[in-house]
Amino acid sequence: MRVFEALNWASSFLKDKGRDENAGDILLRHFLEMSYAQMLASLQDVIDEKLFAQFQDAVTLHGEGRPVQYIMGYEYFYGRMFRVNEDTLIPRPETEELVLEAMKRIERKFNQPEITAADIGTGSGAIAVTLKLEMPKLRVTATDIYAPTLQMAAHNAGELHADIEFIEGNLLEPFTKAGRTFDVILSNPPYIPDSDKSWMSEVVTAHEPHRALFAGVDGLTIYRDLIKQLPAVLNLSAIVGFEVGAGQSEAVKQLLQDTFPKAAIQVVYDINGKDRMVFAEM
């Protein structure tokens, strides 16, 4: 079978299954180890039978609901490859904007030689690793409540040569117990209301870890817990940045304002015009 025939088959198969037809394109590039431009230049090439069989199996798996990223075993974030499996949430492009916005604020606010930062609920380690590699002067710590998730994050940090401290624990508890404080706290916590499970795609709900997705009746449970713990772990001059779900920004802003009345708190919109981030500066 030629490349263009394989693409046509995958597109038709996935359309019938109600999946994203572009997934076939992503998967074939993965197996061919080609860029998009290289694949376009190779449309008439014949695919090795063994490789095509692997591609068919992968497309079938996605048709059954398995995320493409878990099939391939990786996703790109900020131009870097991060390994993922079903113990880790798949990094999203929106979270790149949280990192970018945080770095702008860090650069503007701090002028000391070392800045301490913590990524809470690190998942694949995408936020922590990117912060460290983009801003080497940061001393970065990352936490997660689930040991296998933390192991994957540590693996990614090792592969990408990012010097990060990893600590297993629930939210900020490891730091409150140890009496540690930070200049920067970032988190992309679970924020989907439990009721949303009923209409979300099974590609997400049947495969990605629910502890990294859902957070109570209104999706704000983790924000409440985090913000309650924040005063004990922040330095006097500090930045807090959260990714939030659609329509949650004002509620999270108010939670922060109630806890830090003198802080400058701002809702930040993403490239698609959605209220995606909330930042507080003390």
Binding-site entries:
121-125, 144, 188-191
What's the N-to-C CA distance of the chain in angstroms? 61
Per-residue three-class SS string for 9-45: HHHHHHHHCCCCCHHHHHHHHHHHCCCHHHHHCCCCC
Q: What's the order of all strands across the beta sheet hosting 264-269?
A: 165-168, 138-144, 115-120, 182-187, 234-243, 275-281, 264-269
Contacting residues for 174 by C-beta, under 8 A, at least 6 apart: 143, 167, 168, 180
Residue ranges for the known binding site for S-adenosyl-L-methionine are: 121-125, 144, 188
Rounded CA separation 189/181 (Å): 20
What is the per-residue DSSP string for 55-111? HHHHHHHHHTT--HHHHHTEEEETTEEEE--TTSPPP-HHHHHHHHHHHHHHHHH--
Q: What is the largest CA-CA distance in the chain?
A: 65
Residue ranges for the known binding site for substrate are: 188-191
Number of CB atoms found within 10 A of residue 254's CB? 12
DSSP state of 208: S
**Beta bridge pairs of residue 82:** 75
Q: Are strands 234-243 and 182-187 parallel, antiparallel or unpaired?
A: parallel
